[in-house]
């Protein structure tokens, strides 16, 4: 008996682009653990990090408000069950009501914010549109110069704090953050455990096995530096002008990036997915 399902094979194929048999072998060796299979495949083949799992099935919007003096900004993620509900005018009005209160109070505690009037407003909205609605997280960013960018229909946003510079520059950097998704501001900000895991994967790759220790170490350093550059905001080519790195762009304006946050609707939420046949079968059993 296989210790993995067809759905797991499909997920691994979708995330890696590899063939079915290779995915089956990898899953068998990893006892059905997709993330472990990806890690082992990276060690064996040197392939780049795979796509993230489909963990953003929750719908909703991110709403953002920036202070007039650009000293702070606040972002709120509000979730719904379907995209249809997220486009509803009543849902949009509720989101703005939540944002207004959170912004005025600089409140980041969802439970505290939703007590009383907003809780009643949420309950009324749930009754009206027939879907579960939830305020998931609130993020406050303060600093010298703060601005934000909300992408497209509102399912992705970023807030950037600069030391020096101006609001237009901060907004441009926020737009870059939504598009490229850096993990940290500078290379040295990368958590040690993330670097250690990447080093472990690099050392396990086939082309490292036959190399003398000193050569292998140089290769590891080079690949780690590449990984850090690709995932550090200051080292990334600016999305509006790839000839200049974000760090240099900001430095030329007499500024530096103090911090940033990137908020994607449904990010990290596990949503159980069933195929249509399974769903019908379950309903027939009921």
**CA 70 → CA 66, 247, 259, 281, distances in Å?**
6, 21, 14, 55
Indicate the SS3 state at residue 6.
helix
Domain assignments of the chain as residue spans, ordered by start: 6-54+186-250, 59-181+256-264
* Nearest-angstrom CA–CA distance, 99 and 73: 11
pLDDT for position 189: 94
| 149, two tokens | 């960018």
Residue 35 has which token pair? 């993330």
What is the per-residue pLDDT for 4? Answer: 85
The structure tokens listed for 145 are: 């110069």
- pLDDT, one tens digit for every residue, the chain (286 residues): 467 888 888 888 877 777 788 888 889 999 888 888 888 888 776 665 565 544 333 799 999 999 999 999 999 999 998 888 889 999 999 999 999 999 999 999 999 999 889 989 998 998 888 888 889 999 999 999 999 999 988 999 999 999 999 999 999 999 999 999 999 999 999 999 999 998 888 888 888 777 887 888 888 889 999 999 999 999 999 999 999 999 999 999 999 999 999 999 988 765 554 444 554 455 445 4
Q: Tell me which fold the domain 59-181+256-264 belongs to.
A: Tetrahydropterin Synthase; Chain A (3.30.479)
Q: Which helix (H) or strand (E) holds 241?
A: strand 241-245
CA–CA gap between residue 16 and residue 89 (Å, rounded): 39
- Pairwise CA distance, residues 182 & 194, whole Å: 14
Give the CA count within 13 Å in the CB-facing half-sphere of 77: 20
> 246, 233 in Cβ contact below 8 A?
yes
Determine the Cα–Cα distance for residues 237 and 185; give it in Å rounded to an integer: 13
* Residue 67 near residue 51, CB atoms below 8 Å: no
Q: What is the pLDDT of residue 2?
A: 63
- Collapsed DSSP state (helix, strand, coil) of residue 233: helix
pLDDT of residue 233: 98
Q: Report CA torsion sign: 244, 246, 251, 253.
A: positive
- Token duo for residue 86: 């997220």
């Amino acid at each position: 008996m296989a210790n993995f399902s067809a759905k797991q094979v499909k997920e691994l194929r979708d995330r890696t682009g590899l063939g079915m048999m290779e995915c089956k072998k990898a899953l068998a060796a990893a006892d059905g653990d997709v993330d472990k299979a990806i890690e082992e495949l990276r060690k064996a083949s040197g392939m780049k990090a795979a796509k993230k799992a489909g963990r953003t099935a929750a719908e909703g919007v991110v709403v953002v408000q920036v202070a007039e003096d650009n000293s702070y900004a606040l972002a709120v993620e509000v979730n719904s069950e379907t995209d249809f509900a997220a486009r509803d005018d009543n849902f949009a009005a509720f989101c703005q009501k939540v944002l207004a209160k959170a912004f005025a109070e600089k409140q980041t505690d969802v439970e505290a914010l939703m007590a009383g009037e907003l809780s009643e407003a949420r309950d009324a909205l749930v009754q009206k549109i027939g879907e579960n609605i939830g305020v998931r997280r609130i993020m406050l960013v303060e600093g010298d110069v703060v601005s934000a960018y909300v992408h497209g229909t509102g399912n992705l946003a970023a807030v950037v704090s600069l030391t020096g510079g101006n609001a237009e520059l901060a907004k441009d950097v926020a737009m870059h953050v939504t598009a490229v998704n850096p993990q940290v501001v500078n290379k040295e900000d990368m958590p040690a455990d993330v670097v250690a895991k990447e080093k472990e994967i690099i050392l396990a790759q086939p082309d490292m096995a036959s190399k003398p220790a000193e050569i292998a170490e140089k290769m590891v350093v080079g690949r780690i530096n590449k990984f850090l550059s690709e995932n550090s905001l200051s080292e990334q080519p600016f999305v509006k002008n790839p000839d200049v790195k974000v760090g240099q762009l900001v430095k030329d304006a007499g500024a530096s990036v103090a911090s940033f946050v990137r908020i994607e609707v449904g990010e990290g939420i596990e949503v159980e997915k069933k195929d249509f046949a399974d769903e019908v079968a379950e309903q027939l059993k009921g």
